[in-house]
Amino acid sequence: MRKMVGVIGAGPAGVASSIMLKRYGIDVLLFERRNVGGLLNNAWRVENIPFLQPSAGEDLCRKLKDHLSRNGVELIREDATAIH
């Protein structure tokens, strides 16, 4: 039986979860109605991640989007309004 998971929201946590699920061989659909990165897009400067140089939120969001692409996670640009 094939497993599939839907992740709602492509903020940092949703992106990380989707990539880890994909690495474990679970098919993932990532739903995001706006921009990858969520509220991180609004950050003028992010400097509380110890292993990254301080960066604008938009720059980090571009990196998140690249990670999704490289890992083959499908991004669905829609509202998730119901779960069946």
Q: pLDDT tens digits for 18-69?
A: 999 999 999 999 999 999 998 888 888 988 888 878 889 899 999 999 999 9
Specify if 70 maps to a domain.
Answer: no
Specify if 54 maps to a domain.
Answer: no
pTM of the model: 0.84
Cα 70 to chain centroid, rounded: 12
Q: At 54, which amino acid appears?
A: P
Q: How many domains does the chain have?
A: 1
Specify if 67 maps to a domain.
Answer: no
Specify if 27 maps to a domain.
Answer: yes
Specify if 50 maps to a domain.
Answer: no
Specify if 8 maps to a domain.
Answer: yes
Structural domain harbouring 30:
1-44+75-79
